[in-house]
Homo-oligomer: A and B are copies of this chain.
Amino acid sequence: MKTFIRCMLCLLLAVMGMPGWARDALPSWQDGDTKRAIVAFVEKTTREGGPDFVPVEARIATFDNDGTLWAEQPAYFQLMFVFDRIRALAPQHPEWKTTEPYRSVLAGDMKGLAAGGEHGLMALLATTHAGMTTDEFSATVRDWIATARHPETKRPYPAMTYQPMRELLAYLRAHGYKTYIVSGGGQEFMRPWVEQTYGIPPEQVIGSYGELRYELRDGTPVLVKEAKVGLVDDHAGKPVGIQRFIGRRPVLAFGNSDGDLEMLQWTTAGDGPRFAGLVHHTDGKREWAYDRASKIGTLDKALDMAGLRGWTVVDMARDWRVVYSNP
């Protein structure tokens, strides 16, 4: 009898270890076509001896961040960081009360800010991102991400990351995929928190960046952030960033806007099995609903291309059981 029970336990454990019986690695995804497409792709590319097997060193997966891994409305969260920084630094700069674009930020005058155009925005970015060392900037971001709250949801920003996408990142890694961020957002703005939040280490974070200047301060070397742009990691800048940082073409890529179109094209133009995914913001109740007409995260050409090429489009309202991660 004992032997029988032991055998049954053995068998049970063996069956539980089989793919079909595994604990659901994507519990926040509705069972449906989208989830099935993802799982089928991962299973076929990791099935040794199968026709679509991808060796582990080539399993590169790239993800956009804003609108793909976390929310991006009513404006990119890095812009919220900029505004928060301007407000925090204002007491040391009384002249800002009457100088644009600072005046508009401090007055909450978004129309005035818009009137300043790109020039005004670049000035704000330079003020809040340049002139300090990389260590100082990291500390500032770390402090902000731990304390700041989203103006509408009042949630901490890490609690506005998408739970289904975090599960997807972990699921891919459990299958030998190396997960990268390839974002138009600032590389140094993401690195201080994405390791804890997404499990993505700093060396796998590709983003827009400014130039750095190496210098000795009292004999100690520092890297100072400069206002000069190095890479704008958006649109055609994404394949460029991928080649620069990874030197291999991704097997799987996920985005949510036209800024990701070139990354998805570059990914799917490779030989063998490739997966392109788009997060479509269809859920005005739990999140925001927007696509072709939105200024933030415009999804127009890439949505057409997805239809033509059979890319996987995630319908947020239909495909996700849960949207946000727990705080």
Contact = CB atoms under 8 A, between A and B. Distances in A.
A203 interface: yes
A107 interface: no
B201 A57 contact: yes
A237 B230 CA distance: 13
A244 interface: yes
A205 B243 contact: no
A166 interface: no
A140 to B, nearest CB: 16
Contacts of A209: 244
Interface residues of A, number: 34
Contacts of A178: 203
Nearest to A235: B214
Interface stretch (A20-28, A29-37, A251-259, A261-269): A261-269
A9 interface: no
A35 to B, nearest CB: 29
A229 B184 CA distance: 22
A223 B242 CA distance: 11
Nearest to A201: B57
Given A221-B265, A221-B269, A269-B221, A247 B212 contact: no
Contacts of A191: 247
A240 interface: yes
A246 B202 contact: yes
Protomer copies? 2
A265 B217 CA distance: 12
A191 B265 CA distance: 23
A211 B237 CA distance: 11
Given A240-B223, A266-B221, A248 B202 contact: yes
Interface string A269-294: 10000000000000000000000000
A236 interface: yes
Given A205-B247, A221-B265, 10 more contacts: A188-B247, A203-B247, A213-B240, A221-B239, A221-B266, A221-B269, A223-B239, A223-B240, A223-B243, A245-B245
29 contacts: A57-B201, A134-B243, A178-B203, A187-B247, A191-B247, A202-B247, A202-B248, A203-B248, A209-B244, A211-B240, A212-B240, A212-B243, A212-B244, A213-B240, A214-B236, A214-B237, A214-B239, A214-B240, A214-B262, A214-B266, A216-B265, A220-B269, A221-B239, A221-B262, A221-B266, A221-B269, A223-B239, A223-B240, A245-B245
